[in-house]
């Protein structure tokens, strides 16, 4: 059951789109229902200015209470024991004590004797204290009374989550080629830089489907421009890459450069499409190109305008984009840089040397520039009314993605675009995927990547993944191998790094064969992974999920923080520690271990339920297949464009077991019966799922 309580006069975020199963309840009924789960609700905390909150929900935990969800956030799969704040942030330091990342995903499920789900539909700051201040107390704090709160009851984690996923609408589905492997780097400056990457991948025989173009392709980092010196004939270049089976995926940032000579800026200004400041002028802040203006994506006409701007690119044959800096990121504003300069001047004009304290204060001013202090100083127009940014802050990235998606849908004549962004709110999952932002080449961030996937899936962001290898910091070959061996299972599979760290394209390292084979395995798995993805999207289920979802009564499974279930049949247990030859794996049931030594050579062994130490070499990929399941593997390819047979016959529902190599794990309880089938889903040109029955006798 799904109950919705409306308090005050909330903004319609359009996070929820399917309302037919929702029962509207009053505040009193809500208090009652929450109380039946053991929770309390307080509405008597009006004084926000003193750090108190308008609404508070609390829940007393017992020893075993666990929390799942909250999408993109730090720490474990079970969110218990820390505090998480929904306040979208451009956060280049993803360390354990951060409360906020780029997304606001206010859905969680409380796992207890009586389980329930909670969704706080409010686009400003929301705090989830899950045992941070008081070890056994959950407190959700909302700074306003204008909010929708959803309470979902159900028989287990999976069913509660499925109901939630239904009300928020079907997740974005990428095109099949979006499951290919992509190479990216902040620093590919010219067409030749990109040609070199493609040539090296092709001559190393490492599969590749796309190269991402970071802001260097632009003229002075300005949106919707192309640097014509570095990319003299963009359209031909797009075509040349396509002939090699590679698609180019440009970045687009949220803010538009203040350049009076540019038509886009002028048009946005004349039409009043930008967010305004306190004196009703255009609000400007510094981002990559310098001073920029922020399109008011919350307005439909601004979204239509912005979406249409992509046409210059789609006309050149571009079919995918990534959206960035849409928290929105603000590097500096006039007020904070002026105050900082004044403080510098004041210090410089002193007769004595600055004290360490004064220097620290100055450094703190600069380091403190991340936009949050500005969010109360600019404005949107929502339903004709002026509204302060901080009240709708978490909707900004969502609506940029929506603008982009709607534009691309118009321009690509029915083909699915590849699209993902950085900042999001629940609702954005219908339009695009997300990547997890500026992580680092740290082993702990590989583990973080593993742990983030279940929460993201619960909140609808099925198409997600991290910067494989890490964005900041220096990668090492072993880290990149281990990370790649995990990322071949995440829908978004992209190697990306920043401009001042070691280059991390796979061909730069010693064991090219290992990279080639691991990525080739991804390509062998694409039909299966895409099929599992389509099923998860259409059935409102999780493509990747915590073991707790399928083995709720098994304490060891519930506690497992470093293994994931994928679709119907697979369990992943990635290696995420340096200098280890394997890892401990917990099997909640008997499973078939498949160890791929290369993409085509593998060995299998049956393991009983329980704890095991499994050896996993640096060049190997180990997965586990559940009983009574089969795993179909396609033939290896270097790009999805070569998967013609699969695409052509798959769409017609004519794929057969002969098209695949099949690994089966028969259940001995089935006796002599050795018949297993897998319902492989493909998509036809009308975007409808088509089923191919793959039978192993």
Residues of this chain that bind ligand GLC (CB under 6 A) = 186, 214-215, 251, 324, 422, 437-438, 471, 496, 498
Closer of 42 and 331 to ligand GLC (Cβ) = 331
DSSP string, 219-273: STT-TT---TTTSTTHHHHHHHHHHTT-EEEEEEESSEE--TT-HHHHHHHHTT-
Which phi-psi region, left, alpha or beta, contains residue 169 (left: φ > 0; alpha: ψ -120 to 50)?
left
CB of 329 to ligand GLC, least distance (A): 8
Token pair of 604, please? Answer: 């299998």
Between residues 466 and 537, which has the closer beta carbon with respect to ligand GLC?
A: 466
- CA separation for the pair 245, 314 (Å, rounded): 17
In the complex, least distance from residue 236 CB atom to ligand GLC, rounded to whole angstroms: 25
From the CB of 289, what's the least distance to ligand GLC, in Å?
A: 11
Of residues 159, 80, 104, 184, the one with CA closest to residue 465: 184
Contact 185, 552 (CB under 8 A): no
Which of 161, 59, 33, 205 is CA-nearest to residue 599?
A: 205
Alpha carbon dihedral 110, 113, 116, 122, in 10-degree steps, equals -40
Gap between the Cα atoms of 72 and 104, Å rounded? 8
Closer to ligand GLC by Cβ: residue 101 or 108 = 101
Residue 470 vs 650, nearer CB to ligand GLC: 470
Q: How far is the CB of 170 from ligand GLC (least distance, A)?
A: 27
Nearest to 212 by CA among 494, 405, 19: 494
Q: Considering the complex, state which of residue 327 and residue 562 has its C-beta at the smaller distance from ligand GLC.
A: 327
Report the C-alpha gap between 323 and 250 in whole angstroms. 9
| Residue 23 β-bridge partners | 3
- Could you tell me if 127 and 141 are in contact, meaning their C-beta atoms sit under 8 angstroms apart? yes
Least distance CB 438 / ligand GLC (angstroms)? 5
Minimum CB distance to ligand GLC, residue 437 (Å): 5
Nearer to ligand GLC, 173 or 213 (CB): 213
> For residues 209 and 324, which CB has a smaller minimum distance to ligand GLC in the complex?
324
C-alpha to C-alpha distance for 325 and 287, rounded to whole angstroms: 8
Residue 212 Cβ, how far from ligand GLC at the closest point, in Å? 9
d(CA 254, CA 388): 18
Beta carbon of residue 72, minimum distance to ligand GLC (angstroms, whole number) = 13
* Closest CA relative to residue 541, chosen from 117, 175, 160: 160
> Taking CB positions, which residue lies at the least distance from ligand GLC?
186
Least Å distance between CB 71 and ligand GLC? Answer: 17
CB of 494 to ligand GLC, least distance (A): 10
Nearer to ligand GLC, 76 or 286 (CB): 286
- Of 111 and 230, the one with the shorter C-beta distance to ligand GLC is 230
Q: How far is the CB of 70 from ligand GLC (least distance, A)?
A: 21
Scanning 460-511, the segments in alpha helix (DSSP H) are 477-487
Residue with tokens 């959803």: 150
Q: Which two three-digit tokens encode residue 204?
A: 């190393």
Three-state DSSP class for residue 578: coil
Cβ-based nearer residue to ligand GLC, 121 or 438? 438
Question: How many CB atoms are located within 10 Å of the residue 443 CB?
Answer: 19
Nearer to ligand GLC, 5 or 248 (CB): 248
Tokens representing residue 572 in the block: 């992943």
């Amino acid at each position: 059951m799904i109950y919705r309580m409306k308090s005050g006069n909330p903004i319609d975020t359009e996070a929820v789109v399917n309302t037919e199963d929702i029962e509207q309840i009053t505040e009193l009924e809500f208090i009652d229902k929450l109380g039946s789960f053991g929770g309390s609700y307080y509405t008597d905390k009006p004084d926000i200015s003193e750090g108190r909150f308008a609404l508070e929900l609390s829940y007393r935990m017992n020893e075993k209470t666990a929390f799942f969800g909250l999408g993109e956030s730090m720490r474990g799969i079970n969110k218990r024991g820390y505090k998480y704040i929904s306040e979208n942030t451009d956060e280049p330091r993803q360390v354990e004590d951060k409360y906020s990342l780029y997304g606001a995903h206010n859905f969680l499920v409380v796992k207890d004797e009586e389980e329930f789900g909670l969704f706080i539909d409010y686009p400003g700051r929301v705090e989830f204290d899950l045992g941070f201040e008081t070890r056994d107390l959950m407190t959700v704090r909302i700074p306003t009374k204008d909010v929708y709160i959803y309470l979902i009851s159900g028989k287990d984690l999976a069913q509660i989550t499925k109901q939630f996923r239904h009300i928020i609408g079907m997740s974005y589905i990428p095109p099949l080629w979006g499951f290919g492997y992509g190479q990216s780097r902040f620093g590919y400056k010219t067409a030749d830089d990109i040609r070199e990457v493609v040539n090296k991948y092709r001559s190393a025989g490492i599969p590749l489907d796309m190269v991402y173009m970071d802001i260097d392709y632009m003229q002075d980092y300005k949106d919707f421009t192309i640097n014509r010196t570095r990319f003299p004939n963009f359209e031909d270049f797009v075509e040349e890459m396509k002939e090699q089976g590679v698609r180019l995926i440009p970045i687009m940032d949220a803010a538009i450069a203040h350049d009076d000579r540019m038509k886009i800026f002028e048009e946005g200004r004349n039409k009043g499409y930008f967010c305004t400041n306190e004196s009703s002028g255009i609000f400007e802040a510094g981002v990559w190109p310098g001073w920029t203006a922020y399109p008011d994506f919350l307005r439909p006409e601004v979204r239509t305008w912005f979406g249409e701007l992509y046409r210059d690119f789609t006309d050149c044959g571009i079919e995918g984009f990534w959206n960035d800096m849409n928290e929105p990121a603000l590097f500096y504003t006039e007020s904070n840089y002026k105050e900082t300069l004044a403080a510098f001047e004041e210090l410089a004009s002193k007769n004595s040397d600055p004290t360490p304290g004064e220097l620290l204060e100055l450094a703190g001013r600069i380091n403190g520039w991340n936009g949050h202090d500005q969010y109360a100083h600019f404005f949107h127009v929502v339903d004709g009314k002026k509204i302060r940014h901080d009240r709708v802050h978490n909707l900004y990235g969502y609506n940029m993605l929506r603008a982009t998606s709607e534009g691309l849908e118009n321009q690509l004549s029915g083909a699915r675009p590849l699209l993902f962004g950085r900042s999001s709110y629940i609702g954005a999952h219908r339009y695009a995927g997300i990547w997890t932002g500026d992580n680092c080449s740290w082993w702990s961030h590989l583990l973080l990547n593993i742990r983030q996937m279940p929460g993201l899936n619960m909140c609808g962001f099925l198409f997600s993944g991290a910067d494989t290898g890490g964005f900041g910091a220096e990668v090492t070959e072993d880290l990149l191998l281990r990370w790649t061996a995990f990322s071949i299972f995440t829908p978004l599979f992209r190697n990306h790094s920043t401009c001042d760290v070691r280059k991390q394209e796979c061909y730069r390292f010693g064991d090219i064969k290992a990279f080639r084979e691991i990525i080739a395995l991804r390509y062998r798995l694409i039909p299966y992974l895409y099929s599992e993805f389509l099923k998860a999207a259409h059935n409102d289920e999780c493509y990747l999920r915590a073991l707790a979802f399928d083995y709720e009564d098994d304490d060891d499974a519930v506690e497992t923080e470093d293994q994931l279930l994928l679709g119907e049949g697979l369990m992943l247990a990635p290696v995420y520690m340096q200098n280890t030859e394997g890892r401990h794996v917990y099997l909640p049931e008997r499973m078939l271990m498949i160890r791929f030594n290369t993409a085509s050579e593998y060995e299998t062994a049956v393991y009983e339920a329980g704890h095991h130490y499994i050896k996993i070499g640096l060049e190997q990929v180990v997965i586990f297949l559940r009983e009574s399941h089969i795993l179909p593997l396609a033939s290896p390819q270097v790009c999805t464009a070569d998967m013609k047979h699969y695409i052509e016959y798959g769409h017609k529902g004519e794929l057969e077991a002969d098209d695949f190599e099949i690994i089966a794990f028969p259940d001995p309880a089935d006796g002599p019966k050795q018949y297993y089938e897998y319902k492989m889903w493909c998509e036809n040109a009308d975007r409808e799922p088509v089923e191919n029955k793959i039978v192993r006798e």
